[in-house]
Chains A and B, each alone.
Chain A
């Protein structure tokens, strides 16, 4: 099973767990299982089409999945998936 590292601001949706185990041969399958088990995570991770939201970065190992195959990135048993909030802002309205 792959391990998903949950970032601090989303841990309230995973009963404060920072790491959860998921099954899946691809990132898409893993995210489907993750959001099935923790439904409140879904709106923070995925848009209405099931695609990763712009303000969420996902890494498999050390690699940003946008440099791999996005949601189709294959997973191994020991894969570590990191969900990383894209932190940004500024004073322009």
Chain B
């Protein structure tokens, strides 16, 4: 289960809309207790893909190392990755699956005509297939 506080949902949406029609990408940081993950921070990064960024994203290894180091220093967990699918559903493509890592939550935002229309999270299972991870949208008021 992935808890997304409203201010985090807002930050994700801002990045996805700002980047449209290209794909945005970044990191999800937060806490994990048993099977409940709560995102407390995101780090938006540059889509390092050369060429058409409307259909692909890549994260530079230096950005990955910085994000992981930041999480370790802050005592947070690097919970996963987010990216957008401009004018496509928020479900992983075969390419997403082929290059995915275990453990991470992969949050995908579907953006249609510049508006976020759906947000879903996915995790790789032991057979290297994606299972949908329920996303719980919570208001900041409840968390405080």
Which A residues are within 8 Å of any B CB, using their own CB? 7-12, 18, 44, 55, 57, 59, 64, 82, 84-93
Contact = CB atoms under 8 A, between A and B. Distances in A.
A57 B61 CA distance: 7
Chain B interface category by residue count: 20 to 34
A7 B59 CA distance: 15
A91 B102 contact: no
Given A64-B61, A90-B93, A91-B85, 6 more contacts: A8-B104, A10-B101, A59-B61, A59-B65, A89-B95, A90-B95
B81 to A, nearest CB: 6
Interface of B: 23, 25, 49, 55-59, 61, 64-65, 68, 71-72, 77-78, 81, 83, 85-86, 88, 92-96, 99-104, 106
Contact of B93 (A8, A57, A59, A91): A91
Given A8-B77, A82-B65, A93-B93, A88 B103 contact: no
26 contacts: A9-B102, A10-B101, A10-B103, A11-B103, A12-B102, A12-B103, A18-B72, A44-B101, A64-B61, A84-B61, A87-B25, A87-B59, A87-B64, A87-B81, A88-B49, A88-B59, A89-B81, A89-B92, A89-B99, A90-B55, A90-B57, A90-B85, A90-B96, A91-B85, A91-B96, A92-B56
B93 to A, nearest CB: 5
Contacts of B81: 87, 89
B103 A8 contact: yes
Listed from nearest, the 7 A-B pairs whose CB atoms lie closest are A90-B56, A87-B59, A9-B101, A9-B103, A89-B96, A91-B85, A91-B88
A89 B98 CA distance: 9
A93 B94 contact: yes
Contacts of B85: 90-91
Contacts of B101: 7, 9-10, 44, 55, 85, 87
Contacts of B72: 18
A84 B104 contact: no
Given A87-B64, A92-B55, A8 B78 contact: yes
